[in-house]
Chain A
Amino acid sequence: MAEAEELLAEGALVATRFAHDLWRRHRAAPEVARLADVRERIECFVIGLRGACPTLGISSPPLQRTWLGRLLLRIPRHLNSATAQPATDGQRVLLPRELAPLANDLNALCRYRLYALAQALRIERKTHTNAPLDRLERDLFIARDGLATLTELAAEVPRLNADIAACVRASLATRPATEQLTPLEQAVEARLRSALRDALSPQRTAASVPAGHELLAEVIEAAAALRANFPGRYRGLPSAECWGELVEAGAPTLLAPAAFSREAAQRSPPRLSHLARRPTPRVASADEDDERPGMFIVKADASQTGVEDPLGLSRPLDEGAADAAELSAALSELPEARLIRAPGAVREVLLSEGRNELRAAQSPLGAPNSGGFSYPEWDYRISSYRQPGALVRESVAEVGDVGWAETVLRRHARLLHTVCESFAELRPRRSRLLRQPDGMEVDIDAYVSAFANRLAGVSWDDALYEDVRPRRRDVALLLLVDASASTDASISGRQRIIDIEKEALLVVCKALERLGDRYAAYGFSGESAAEVRVRAIKRFDEPYDIAVERRIAGLEPDGYTRLGAAVRRATGLLAREQARHRLLLIVSDGKPNDIDEYEGRYGIEDARQAIVEARLQGLHPFCLTVDRQAPEYARHIFGPTGYTLLRDAQLLPATLLELLRRLVRA
């Protein structure tokens, strides 16, 4: 029996939600740009102008405090801003998830470009390391250094002058009102505004740009003078958007979805929602958890609500009642949260953009295999192989859902069609072979040449015929697919890298099947040198059938990327093939890593050595990577022409195809 109060509360909730939705629908301007959509262009822009681009990340909006929270923590109103600012942590460029155009005709893309460039410049200027810790000094420093940054930027790219001016004007317009500030804050605010106005003045380009550490002394002196002359506390002032914030490079933070349980994924797909802001993971204090569960208190006076849950212990979330959006909103409000790992299916996945720095849960080791293949590993420190190196266990990949392949093929029917069409072009065509000893027709050129040779009295070739025969293209191809836990990261909202890899693999296998060349597909992952898992999806002498489809379907991310050992195993398999051209195609999502020292330079050098070994055996290794940071190490491992960076994982099938065409065209 619903009480009147509950009805009222429910009604109010519905009304607010409705109003909220309505507001959002009408507010959403079409020109709003999302970082995910323009990231590529921004990166190219920064690389073009500065030669390299730091990693782009999402800057979180500041934690929203309630009125009561602000009161308790004594946070002044002007610091309780809701918008994310461009920022840097000294290594990454952090940009807001989405940006709207500024009122004075600076479109969102231009804003992104400008912010990214300014933050990249701040990283180069070492603003983050130079900044003093005292709040007042820091704010003054950020403004002074920001002015220098913008000046440098304008001098380097004069065409951006108008954009910079528009952006500075907008920052000037959004400065907090001075009435509620203490005298000291007012004085600082005046300084900040004057820095912004300086950024607008046309003479600034003429001034020489001071380096960060040169500003430091000046700023400390100014801060002392301000403190001496103006009374009041200094609680901080918001930074100007045109030069952005400085944030601390925190510990790896990400709420990674625990490994997807296969049964659960089949039962009901997890609900997805975006997480606006990631809480910082909190380390549990020593006495936080009780070793054993304590007593329950059952309130006897409360009416029993249900038979399944007599004690009323289930939260609405456990019952799946709350929707994921609500959960993500609730989680975003927490300053920090403890990370726990629980068995069982995942029901809500909250997507948080940025690098997946947290490893997904370790999965239990597979069924013990009979032995394995041991490969030495290259140790760059001693310039020699290390024995014992890594142990590769090869097994047949586990089978997955029967219906998966069919669903994917139906969904990608058009893509499959296009891919097969283009592969058909590669099919060994009937070609005209000249100068054959026997054939259907006379080769006129050969005949004339031989005739002339005969008249001249020199030896002549009796290969005077031409023949039309299907040409045999002698190619064997091994696809080595990265199935480590990092492929669990979602890339385009709904799909994980592994999903895209799987779909691409399926489409390409289908197409290769029509081509008639010998090919094989293997997935690899593993954990530690003793447990590198190479899983056969399709062996060379195995026909493509439903079992192969199911093995592709069953490919799930786990473990790490011990690339060297996997490449050595694949090299061994491919080297047995008789074909003239043997291609080893590695589809990867990141650099080699493992739980041990393989993470760093050791892994890169070992992978490089493995690739060199493959080359020495007459194979052609080639890597297709979706990692944006790949150029830093892929060039070292695979050589400048041995890899391609895939800018959009969705393009994987098409790119694989294009690559095969290029490699196979003889």
Chain B
Amino acid sequence: MSAGAVPRIHLRASADGLSHPQAQAPYYLPAGDEVRIFEACHKQGLATLLKGPTGCGKTRFVEYMAWRLGRPLVTVACHDDLSASDLLGRYVVRGGETEWRDGPLTRAVRNGALCYLDEVVEARQDTIVVIHPLADERRLLPLDKTGELIEAAPGFQLVISYNPGYQHVLKDLKPSTRQRFVVIEFDFLPAEREAEIVAHEGGIDRLGAESLVKLARRVRNLRDRGLAEAPSTRLLVATARLVAAGIPIREACRTAFVAPLSDDPTMLASIGDLLDATL
């Protein structure tokens, strides 16, 4: 088992609600020129939308960029009850006194951090509107409650992510939101690169990683055949970790790779066929 199997913490959480970059770089293997584009966006203060299937490295990319740019990072996982004050902040009562407490977005704006809103479609429409003035050239955050108008500190960058694969007609980004963002598209890496990641992150040998990636690429071909979501690199890394922990590879694939993909017996059987033909 190599050192890569141990999950590492790339960012240090701290009391100020920001994660500050560590000395060691998070492991990230660029797919194209996304690093260069992101740096240009950062320099120009443009908001960025990361678009791509689940588990293809969007979050890791943001962590890596935060490290590379030397900025703190605030991550918010969006859910459908996320209200505007969850992002902006609220007054709290403390011993008869009131105190304003910044929300994660406000904190990021004040500190010039990267603010990453993960799966932003999940948030309510009225919440998403809050980010509009921050996402265009104004770079302002009005706080109605305190009457403040905060100008984003240099270094602040708004990053949101979005998975277009879900078939959910009632949830989509409004065009007015979309058009404020520079879109960087993500997809699964070419086989070579993906195998490198699986070998590194999962802590298994190159040969095993290659066969796992081969299997994943074959199963991804079934995307049009009723597979809701293609098997992700994350799923492969999880499988590889099981293998690194001593589970036989076929067994690991069945439990960590095949089973999470579908509940449909025919689909499971088909994936099982591909597993047999690959490993």
Contact = CB atoms under 8 A, between A and B. Distances in A.
Q: Is the interface of A mostly helix, strand, loop or mixed?
A: helix
A261 interface: no
A406 interface: no
Contacts of B224: 47, 631, 635, 645
Contacts of A157: 277-278
Interface stretch (A170-178, A363-371, A452-460): A452-460
B167 A662 contact: yes
Interface string A217-251: 00000000000000000000000000000000000
B14 to A, nearest CB: 26
A618 to B, nearest CB: 11
Interface string B220-239: 01101110000000000000
B269 A663 contact: no
A451 B219 CA distance: 56
Interface in B178-226: 218-219, 221-222, 224-226
B169 A581 contact: yes
B69 to A, nearest CB: 33
Interface string A612-637: 00000000101000000001000100
Interface residues on A, range: 35 or more
Given A458-B145, A620-B169, A452 B222 contact: no
B226 A641 contact: no
B226 A645 contact: yes
Contacts of A45: 270, 273-274, 277
B93 interface: yes
Nearest to A641: B167
A413 interface: no
A644 B169 CA distance: 13
B169 A48 contact: no
Given A43-B225, A452-B90, A641-B164, A48 B270 contact: yes
Nearest to A44: B270
Contacts of B221: 47-52
A581 B277 contact: no
Contacts of B168: 662-663
Nearest to A41: B270
A453 B145 contact: yes
B267 to A, nearest CB: 7
B170 A666 contact: yes
Contacts of A640: 164
A664 B167 CA distance: 11
B204 to A, nearest CB: 19
Residue in B90, B98, B146 with the greatest tally of chain A CB atoms within 10 Å: B98
A449 B274 contact: no
B31 interface: no
B172 to A, nearest CB: 9
A360 B202 CA distance: 58
A451 B93 contact: yes
A448 interface: yes
Contacts of A662: 167-168
Interface string A37-67: 0001101110111111000000000000000
B145 A663 contact: no
Contacts of B278: 157, 159
B92 interface: yes
Contacts of A641: 164-167
B277 A449 contact: no
Nearest to A454: B98
Contacts of B274: 44-45, 48-49
Nearest to B91: A452
Given A449-B90, A449-B91, A47 B167 contact: no
A157 to B, nearest CB: 5
A641 B171 CA distance: 12
A41 B273 contact: yes
Contact of B273 (A44, A51, A455, A645): A44
Interface string A582-609: 0100000000000000000000000000
B100 A456 contact: yes
B264 to A, nearest CB: 8
Nearest to A647: B226
A159 B147 contact: no
A160 interface: yes
A644 B271 CA distance: 19
Residue in A47, A451, A662 with the greatest tally of chain B CB atoms within 10 Å: A47
Given A622-B169, A644-B167, A647-B226, A49 B277 contact: yes
29 contacts: A41-B273, A44-B266, A44-B273, A48-B219, A48-B273, A48-B274, A49-B218, A49-B274, A50-B221, A52-B221, A113-B273, A113-B277, A159-B278, A449-B91, A452-B91, A453-B91, A455-B93, A455-B98, A458-B145, A622-B169, A631-B225, A641-B165, A641-B167, A647-B225, A647-B266, A662-B167, A663-B169, A664-B170, A665-B170
